[in-house]
Amino acid sequence: MAVLNMSGQTASGTGEGIKVDGLEVSYGGVVALRGISLEIGPGGFVAVLGANGAGKTTLVRTLTGLLPLHKGRVTAGGATLNGVSVVGRTSRDLVKSGLAQVPEGRKLFPRLTVEENLLCGAATRTDKSEMDANLERVFELFPRIHDRLKQQAGYLSGGEQQMVAVGRALMANPRFLICDELSLGLAPMIVSQLFELLTRVREDGVGVLVIEQNARLALQHTEDAYVIEVGRIEHSGKSLNLRNDPVVQDLYLGGGGEATAAFSEIAARPRRWRR
Amino acid sequence: MTQLAFDAAVNLQLAIGGVALGSIYGIVALGFVLVFKSTGVLNLAQGDFLMLGAYLSVTLLLTNDLGLYMAIPLLALFMGFLGLSVHYSVMRHLVGQPFFSIVLVTIGIGTIIRAVLLMVYGPIEKGRLRALPEGSFKIGSVQVLWANVIIIAIIALILLMFVMFFRLTRLGLHIRAVADNLEAAAAQGIRPDSVYAMTWGVSLALVGIAGLLFGNVNNVTPAASTIGLAALPAAVIGGFSSLGGAIVGGLIVGVVEILLGYHLGQSWRQPSAFMLLFIILLVKPTGLFGGKEFERV
Amino acid sequence: MSYSVDSHPVFRRVTTDYRQEIRSIGRTGSRGLAVTVVVLGILLPWAFSRDVSPPFAFPWSTWAAVLNLSLLSALGATAFNVLVGYTGQLSLAHAGFLTVGAMTTGYLGTEAGLPFLVVLVLGTVVGAVVGILVGLPALRLKGYYLLLATLGVYFISQLAWKEFLVANYGFVGMIVDRPQLPAFTSGWPLIGTDTGEGLILSNNFRWYIVLAPICILVMLFLSNLTRSREGRAFAAVRERDVSASLIGIDVARTKLLAFAVSSAVVTLSGALSSYYLSARGEDSFPFAVTLNFAIMIVVGGFSSIQGAIFGAVFFHAMPELTKWIRSEAPVLRDIDYLRTHSGEIDLLIFGALVVLVLTTRPDGLAGLWAQIKGWFTKWPFST
């Protein structure tokens, strides 16, 4: 599939960015991702969409160095962070190079306090003043966290936990943030708030990659998007364009702007089959 | 004997001795639970490490005549390094292996340690170390041994240091994070490998000190490795996943063991910890402080 | 040239229906091999006990003892494997069951004077009953809790043993007379005749004649058990007992069966070894015994009957081997330390082997054997 040039900064231009090129990933004999190519530059806001099992999590694992933990292997193509390949590098290395992750399902440390969770995010940083500054920024973005600082993270509500997870990732002072299934289990209003907050994070020059099942919200807030189906990218482009693409509307947005349609009409629409 | 059996003073005296012994068990159990919570490994060699600590103390205290307060840090340092090497040389190669395999490996390691100790020190008893002050004082009608008091004090101090380390330092935080959620910790850039190694180091350092103190209470013999196993029920009694519970479990085992040993005979000491374990498991299978464990199908 | 499945060098080894699948011989090796083993197994030891001069001045008498001890241990190790490897019940209590076997022998054999075979049978039954008792709490306990609880069973058995010894034998320890087989065995060929009464098991060869059939029978039984319906239930319980109950397996009954069978066999082994070794004392069952089983299982290989046999043989053969090397090898011969500390050195080697095997080749000797066989089977396609 064609690789998009991002609006404004291109990855090749400034040297910074995540670039995936013809990536193929397998678990044992099962191919999970095939020919994946995508890009995100500094300050970019990219969505990767797809149904359950499409391969989004595999993509995240590849980029964050957690693939070996799940017995996966890159079998073709590659992915680079700031020009250096991510394959075979440890999570620690990648985090230090500026790639932080908000894991699917939050994955906070339930018995640690909110404050301790945030501090864990700074596991790779050593500068105390930088850490204090980051902490301030997190409190600024998520004032609710400040109120809950000394509580055990396991007791927080879903939305608050998600904020802590994002805050924890930000403590690593990243250049790029990968958010895996941010909307999972959260009320739409909270998800909206989160997306708006992510826009503010971009103001600091951080590129945000959002992996989502909730296509509507993701396409509303992001600038560029890719759609993965069964391990391949089937659609890509500016989020605005994809929002109005009838096929995407049909499959992921509940049929677009039409009110109700008769069943016979819907049944007559062309179906997509797996290749 | 019946007269003495109900003599409160005697029992109280025994109980204090039991608390001292129990605090030693508690430290051993603490190290055991620490390794388990962090790495998921059941270290059945814990008794052999206790034996190692006791025998090394013989070298430090008798052969080289170091003071108690020099010997303890030296021993802790050595055992700490040993813990690091246990992880880096053996345990890290077993990540992902079935649980029982890992348990058997620890048995293998314990066997090696016991064999080496027998080769170096010989099978004869070494007698009790006497590095602690002798003598006692009276509170009311109860005779209290100074040795017991000092043991309890030293262990309390060590526990304090441990708690401070665990809750206040960065490494302690990382150990707790890894124990809570391994994948999330890795995602933050925490290196599980280093964390595991440090956990082993801390655990063995604790057991080493326990061995030194143990050698002052009991004769230093190869049987120490079996006695050290009593710490395992202590850990389970306290609720296996609870660090504080391990200490409490150890104290309970210590007191019960001494009392049973006095009233029923010395041969009752060894199984007493396990008998207590049975009773507690019958009533509360997850131990006194353990939480519920769920298994998802 | 036409190949039928039965004559094809490679495909012949593949099972094509259920009956083949559960057959014991013909699955792990050809029938010819089994017969050869049996014949050799009888003839060789007899030949050497008859002063046929053995090659290389090898200490055959010692090795006869090794053989018998291996048979005894193989029983225990296989039973251990069935409980732990096949059914996944993490138990460290088997040294306790050996003790139960010794107590049964002492009480029924020496005290009550019951004949040898009767004691063995009764001992097995007692073992099964105690096994069920131990298995009952196992129904509630999981994983490491079970491990520690069974460890407790061992320690309690030691207490019982000590009390038993003190009550019946004072400080001397238990002495068991050489067992005597029933009268009909006195006239048998090959074995030599005693008086008109039954054969007395007084040397290694006679013991071998008794032990070998017992072992083969028990192992066949266990092997068949694992391939039967119950055996599959064992495996299901090992994997996921919750799921096993969902498909209709009575998990409690399966677990108790595993405990009963395994404990019965280990107790039998304990009773037999009490007769074989004649003297048992306070320290006959140190904790190291538990480790011995672990060593056998690890080195021999998990989850297979063959593994237990390999491990048992290895465990008893290795110290003899090292002793032989030590006394014959040119340089090592003169190092006195090796001789005086032979026990500890053997222990060290065992411990190191356990660690090495588990880190490098977890399926042990049995895995190695399977690999060798596989190489021959697949030839010329072997990798």
Does C94 reside within a domain? yes
Distances (CA, A) of A200 to A45, A138, A180, A219: 11, 11, 18, 17
Of the three residues C249, C267, C283, the one that is the final residue of a domain is C283
**Inter-chain CB proximity C348 and B108 less than 8 Å:** no
**Inter-chain CB proximity C294 and B101 less than 8 Å:** no
- Predicted confidence at residue A158, as pLDDT, reads 86
- Predicted confidence at residue B158, as pLDDT, reads 92
Identify all chain C residues contacting B109, using CB atoms and an 8 Å cutoff.
Answer: 351, 355
Do B128 and B216 form a contact (C-beta atoms < 8 A)? Answer: yes
- Look at B221-235, C15-29, C229-243 and tell me which has the smallest mean pLDDT: C15-29
C330-366: pLDDT as tens digits: 776 667 777 777 788 888 888 898 888 888 877 777 7
Per-chain mean pLDDT for chain A:
82
- Predicted confidence at residue A1, as pLDDT, reads 28
- Predicted confidence at residue B291, as pLDDT, reads 58
* pTM, two decimal places: 0.81
Q: What share of chain C is helix, strand, coil (3-state, %, to 5)?
A: 70, 0, 25
Q: Are both C150 and C192 inside the same structural domain?
A: yes
- Predicted confidence at residue B82, as pLDDT, reads 94
Q: Are both C180 and C257 inside the same structural domain?
A: yes
Question: Distance between CA A109 and CA C57 in Å, rounded?
Answer: 68
Does C364 reside within a domain? yes
Task: For the beta carbon of residue B108, count every other beta carbon within 10 angstroms.
Answer: 27
Q: Are both C125 and C105 inside the same structural domain?
A: yes
- Predicted confidence at residue C62, as pLDDT, reads 74
Rounded average pLDDT over B158-182? 90
Does C276 reside within a domain? yes
Q: Which domain holds residue B279?
A: 2-283
ipTM: 0.80
Phi-psi region of A84 (alpha: psi -120 to 50; beta: other; left: phi over 0): beta
At residue A11 the predicted structure's pLDDT band, cuts being 50, 70 and 90, is very low
CATH number, domain with residue B17 = 1.10.3470
Q: Are both C364 and C273 inside the same structural domain?
A: no
Does B74 reside within a domain? yes
C310-335: pLDDT as tens digits: 888 888 888 888 887 777 777 766 67
Identify the residue with better confidence: B27 or B266: B27
Q: How many domains does chain C have?
A: 2
**Inter-chain CB proximity C354 and B105 less than 8 Å:** yes
CATH number, domain with residue A213 = 3.40.50.300
Q: Are both C125 and C271 inside the same structural domain?
A: yes
What are the strands, taking DSSP E only, across chain B? Answer: 136-139, 142-145
Does A58 reside within a domain? yes
Does C23 reside within a domain? no
Does B290 reside within a domain? no
What value does the CA radius of gyration of chain A take, rounded to a whole number of Å? 19
**Inter-chain CB proximity A103 and B191 less than 8 Å:** no
- Predicted confidence at residue B51, as pLDDT, reads 92
Does C40 reside within a domain? no
Q: How many domains does chain B have?
A: 1
- Predicted confidence at residue A4, as pLDDT, reads 34
Q: Which domain holds residue A212?
A: 1-87+207-275
At residue A12 the predicted structure's pLDDT band, cuts being 50, 70 and 90, is very low
* Element housing A78 (H / E): strand A72-81
Rounded average pLDDT over A32-60? 87
Distance from CA of B87 to the nearest CA of C (A): 12
- Predicted confidence at residue A266, as pLDDT, reads 62
Does C4 reside within a domain? no
**Whether pLDDT at C181 is above 90:** no
**Whether pLDDT at C2 is above 90:** no
- Predicted confidence at residue A6, as pLDDT, reads 35
Does B89 reside within a domain? yes
Closest alpha carbon to C267 in C14, C64, C98: C98
* Element housing B106 (H / E): helix B99-121
Query: With a CB-CB cutoff of 8 Å, which residues 9-68 of chain C face chain B?
Result: none
Identify the residue with better confidence: C256 or C168: C256
- Predicted confidence at residue C327, as pLDDT, reads 74
Does A165 reside within a domain? no
A146-174: pLDDT as tens digits: 888 898 888 888 888 999 999 999 999 89
Q: How many domains does chain A have?
A: 1
**Whether pLDDT at C8 is above 60:** no
Q: Is the peptide bond before B285 cis (omega within 30 degrees of 0)?
A: no
Do C316 and C273 form a contact (C-beta atoms < 8 A)? Answer: no
Distance from CA of A109 to the nearest CA of B (A): 6
Q: Are both C175 and C191 inside the same structural domain?
A: yes
- Predicted confidence at residue C34, as pLDDT, reads 63
Does B295 reside within a domain? no
Closest alpha carbon to B225 in B215, B238, B237, B216: B215
Does B291 reside within a domain? no
Q: Do chains B and A touch (3 or more CB pairs under 8 A)?
A: yes
Q: Are both C257 and C298 inside the same structural domain?
A: no
Q: Are both C135 and C275 inside the same structural domain?
A: yes
- Predicted confidence at residue B206, as pLDDT, reads 94
At residue B202 the predicted structure's pLDDT band, cuts being 50, 70 and 90, is very high
Do A66 and B187 form a contact (C-beta atoms < 8 A)? Answer: yes
- Predicted confidence at residue C382, as pLDDT, reads 60
Task: For the beta carbon of residue A237, count every other beta carbon within 10 angstroms.
Answer: 16
**Inter-chain CB proximity C144 and B42 less than 8 Å:** yes
Identify all chain C residues contacting B116, using CB atoms and an 8 Å cutoff.
Answer: 344, 348
**Whether pLDDT at B140 is above 80:** no
Identify the residue with better confidence: C239 or B39: B39
Does B11 reside within a domain? yes
Closest alpha carbon to A139 in A159, A157, A115, A123: A115
Q: Which domain holds residue C154?
A: 54-283
Interface probe for B, chosen from C99, C159, C361 (most Cβ of B below 10 Å), is: C159
Rounded average pLDDT over C23-49? 62
Q: Are both C235 and C297 inside the same structural domain?
A: no
Identify the residue with better confidence: A235 or B296: A235
At residue B60 the predicted structure's pLDDT band, cuts being 50, 70 and 90, is confident
Rounded average pLDDT over C232-260? 83
- Predicted confidence at residue B219, as pLDDT, reads 81
**Whether pLDDT at A9 is above 50:** no
Q: Does A91 touch chain B (CB under 8 A)?
A: yes
- Predicted confidence at residue C6, as pLDDT, reads 56
Q: Are both C88 and C235 inside the same structural domain?
A: yes
Closest alpha carbon to A222 in A206, A236, A204, A209: A209
Q: Are both C271 and C329 inside the same structural domain?
A: no
Does B249 reside within a domain? yes
Does B292 reside within a domain? no
At residue B52 the predicted structure's pLDDT band, cuts being 50, 70 and 90, is very high
Does C36 reside within a domain? no
Does A231 reside within a domain? yes
- Predicted confidence at residue C343, as pLDDT, reads 81
Q: Which of B180, B183, B190 sits opposite A112 (nearest CB)?
A: B180
Question: Distance between CA C115 and CA C127 in Å, rounded?
Answer: 18
Does A115 reside within a domain? no
Does C256 reside within a domain? yes
